[in-house]
């Protein structure tokens, strides 16, 4: 086993690799960009080397800088993680040429399987069924359009060198093909440095099932069963689970054998994943092979009890696989949820900002426990526009799928995050959705269940409002003593229970709940607190304990209602975490609110995040209708189209193609 490992990645996967390396006694070296100088993965390693600017092309995609970091740090091996250079055969070969072990397959296997087009050709020769489509080298736009027309719509355009949903579009009509093709090619070139694409027939209601394979340098190759990754948004996985619901032993063996055959056909070494698209009748088609460790590998670890990163390091060091196929078995059911900084209600638009609060439920290492959290950020860290906005992965295990799902619901309800928009509440609704609960899975589940997964927000009830008020009172230094034991105040001036010399205390709290004003009256008289909101006053008692700056654990009684909650107060925003949900309210200042309204600029469109203007579809004087595409921004390696909010005339454009824009910058002025 080598003694020093350089991890050529960032975020949660760099932290994940470092954990297994440390357990094996291997020294770790991190690399970092300007934006990641104080990141968690740097702290998780024994040493760190700066490799360039914040943009991936200036740092994590610079093979020369990473190899130089390995030379300077004395690393004998490089683990690429996933993404970035993990499937770059030139980088794998450069490591070999430099005498450094690349923890992954040989460059030839990456080249064979790294191109979706080449891989499909190889699988076609091997007799593996393929989805009808075009996987050739001719990339002339009109030729590709003719191929799509011949296949029949809808079709799926996919980046040949890609993954993670980047450079991928569903095209419903021939008239939309040209624009979608151009967008895919731009996105593919930006993310992977290769704009080659392929076209496939888009299957209706398919499932996405993948097989984990592992091979060593001694001729051994096994499959560690399957993962169901059908629940996706924007062609990116949201939920992964293992084993796949409804999988029969015969089909598992057939898919496993096909995956092993695919790996052996290219002389594969290390961890890889063969992905299949599966129709409702059970027919499966080869999609692609990912020649790296997958984001969702923890669910496989949870059901098999094997550390796949440890396997990677041992195989890279020349050791044989630790078990045979006959020694592998499945225990229980595991589910992984990807927690992102994004707003599901706005098309899963990424959210930028500082994670002021980030609390996870208690968890233990995956070898012994049923809940695991793989994360790459901490409270106080910033989600930047340069990288994928993943906050963490939450993985749970149960004796069966129902128990695993119940544990996931509970664990999601215990996460507390403040500072950026997240998909936590959406994930919890997804776990509770009847279709997901019944394992009625396919890649269109989120769209199919849209109404139940995106319900209209319900107003905060009196309990939530009272908890917010209790936190505001605690911030003022007031605390109700009747809920505290063994506490005696001798000096009335030292009491924090609202005591007044005339015996009367009154305060009105104005809160904004989804734009609606709620007023609560709080009073204290004769040793009794009361609270009223649109009704008679109720007895009100609370005890608040400060957990951190501006964060309170509150036990409250309101009339006959009792509640235990965590409340985070940051400036005017109040986040109430109770009963597995979070409610966001604002302390309302009528004077300041009136001033903000008078200064508000009407008729403009602003940038939802920092990014770069890729294309503009309109010019000053153009008439636009609601929903028309106005411009396209690139941020977080994805393209985001800005649409007209209503009918109007373009008055002015404030940026040109190629310009970088900041979050909130006014892009276009439109008059009604």
Question: Is 253 a catalytic site residue?
Answer: no
Give the angle 667-668-672 at the CA atoms, nearest 5°: 150
Q: CA 231 to CA 221: how far, in whole Å?
A: 29
Q: Go through 300-311 and write b for each residue having 16 or more CB atoms within 10 A of its CB, e for each that does not.
A: bbbbbebbbbeb
Q: Measuring CA to CA, which residue among 510, 535, 536 is closest to residue 593? A: 510
Give the angle 82-87-89 at the CA atoms, nearest 5°: 150
CB 227 within 8 A of CB 240: yes
Q: Measuring CA to CA, which residue among 203, 213, 120, 202 is closest to residue 160? A: 120
The residue annotated as part of the active site, out of 292, 407, 550, 555, is 292
Q: Measuring CA to CA, which residue among 175, 231, 180 is closest to residue 439? A: 231
What does the longest C-alpha to C-alpha distance in the chain come to? 91
Q: Measuring CA to CA, which residue among 134, 150, 282, 263 is closest to residue 211? A: 263
Q: Coil, strand, or helix at residue 253?
A: helix
How many beta carbons lie within 10 A of that of residue 657, not counting itself? Answer: 11
DSSP-assigned letter for residue 130: B
Q: Measuring CA to CA, which residue among 51, 13, 46, 44 is closest to residue 29? A: 46
**Range 573-578 contact pairs with CB under 8 angstroms and sequence separation of 24 or more:** 573/418, 574/468, 574/471, 574/472, 574/511, 575/357, 575/416, 575/418, 576/460, 576/464, 576/467, 576/468, 576/471, 577/416, 578/463, 578/464, 578/467
Q: Pairing between strand 604-606 and 581-587?
A: unpaired
Cα–Cα distance list, 350 to 369, 448, 590 (Å): 31, 22, 31
Which pair of structure tokens corresponds to residue 648? 């109007």
Q: Pairing between strand 47-52 and 27-33?
A: parallel
């409610």: which residue's tokens? 583
Would you name the residues annotated as active-site residues? 292
């Amino acid at each position: 086993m080598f003694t020093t490992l350089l991890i050529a990645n960032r975020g949660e996967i760099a932290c994940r690799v470092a954990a297994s390396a440390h357990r094996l006694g291997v020294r770790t070296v991190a690399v970092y960009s300007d934006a990641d100088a104080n990141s968690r993965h740097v702290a998780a390693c024994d040493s760190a080397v700066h490799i360039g600017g914040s943009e991936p092309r200036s740092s994590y995609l610079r093979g020369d800088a990473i190899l130089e970091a390995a030379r300077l740090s004395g690393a004998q091996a490089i683990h690429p993680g996933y993404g970035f250079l993990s499937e770059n055969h030139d980088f794998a070969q450069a490591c070999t040429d430099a005498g450094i072990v690349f923890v992954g397959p040989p460059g030839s296997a990456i080249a064979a399987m790294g191109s979706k087009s080449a891989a499909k050709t190889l699988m076609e020769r091997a007799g593996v069924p393929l989805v009808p489509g075009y996987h050739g080298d001719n990339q002339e736009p009109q030729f590709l359009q003719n191929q799509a027309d011949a296949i029949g719509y809808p079709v799926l355009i996919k980046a040949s060198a890609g993954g993670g949903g980047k450079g991928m579009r569903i095209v419903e009509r021939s008239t939309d093909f040209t624009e979608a093709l151009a967008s895919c090619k731009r996105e593919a070139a930006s993310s992977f440095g290769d704009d080659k694409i392929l076209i496939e027939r888009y299957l209706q209601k398919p499932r996405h099932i993948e097989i984990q394979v592992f091979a060593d340098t001694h001729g051994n190759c096994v499959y560690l069963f399957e993962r169901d990754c059908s629940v996706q948004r924007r062609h990116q996985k949201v939920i992964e689970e293992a084993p796949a619901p409804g999988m029969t032993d015969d089909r598992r063996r057939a898919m496993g054998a096909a995956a092993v055959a695919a790996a052996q056909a290219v002389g594969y070494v290390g961890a890889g994943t063969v992905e299949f698209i599966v129709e409702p009748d059970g027919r499966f088609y080869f999609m692609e092979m990912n020649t790296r460790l997958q984001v969702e590998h923890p669910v496989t670890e949870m059901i098999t009890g094997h550390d796949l990163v440890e396997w990677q390091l041992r195989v890279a060091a020349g050791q044989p696989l630790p078990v045979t196929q006959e020694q592998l078995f499945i225990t229980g059911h595991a589910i992984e949820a990807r927690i992102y900084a994004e707003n599901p209600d706005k098309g899963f638009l990424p959210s930028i900002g500082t994670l002021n609060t980030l609390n996870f439920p208690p968890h233990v290492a995956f070898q012994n426990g049923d809940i695991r959290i793989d994360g790459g950020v901490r409270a106080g860290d910033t989600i930047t526009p340069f990288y994928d906005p993943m906050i963490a992965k939450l993985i749970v295990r149960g004796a069966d799928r129902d128990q695993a799902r119940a544990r996931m619901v509970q664990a999601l309800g215990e996460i507390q995050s403040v500072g950026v928009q997240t998909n936590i509440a959406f994930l919890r609704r997804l776990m509770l959705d009847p279709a997901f609960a019944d394992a009625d899975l396919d890649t269109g589940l989120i769209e199919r269940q849209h109404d139940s997964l995106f319900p209209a927000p319900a107003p905060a009830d009196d309990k939530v409002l009272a908890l917010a008020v209790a936190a505001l009172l605690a911030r003022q230094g007031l605390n109700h003593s009747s809920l505290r034991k063994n506490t005696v105040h001798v000096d009335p001036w030292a009491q924090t229970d609202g005591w007044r010399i005339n015996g009367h205390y009154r305060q009105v709290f104005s809160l904004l709940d989804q734009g609606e004003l709620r007023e609560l009256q709080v009073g204290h008289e004769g040793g009794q607190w009361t609270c009223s909101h649109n009704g008679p006053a109720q007895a009100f008692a609370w005890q608040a304990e400060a957990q951190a700056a501006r964060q309170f654990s509150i036990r409250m009684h309101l009339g006959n209602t009792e509640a235990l909650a965590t409340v985070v107060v940051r400036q005017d925003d109040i986040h109430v975490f109770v009963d597995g949900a979070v409610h966001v309210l604002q302390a309302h200042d009528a004077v300041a609110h009136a001033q903000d309204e008078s200064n508000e600029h009407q008729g403009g469109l602003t940038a939802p995040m920092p990014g770069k203007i890729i294309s503009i579809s309109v010019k000053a004087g153009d008439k636009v209708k609601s929903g028309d595409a106005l411009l396209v921004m690139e941020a977080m390696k994805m393209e985001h189209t800005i649409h007209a909010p209503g009918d109007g005339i373009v008055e002015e454009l404030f940026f040109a193609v190629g310009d970088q824009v900041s979050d909130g910058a006014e892009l276009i002025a439109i008059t009604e």
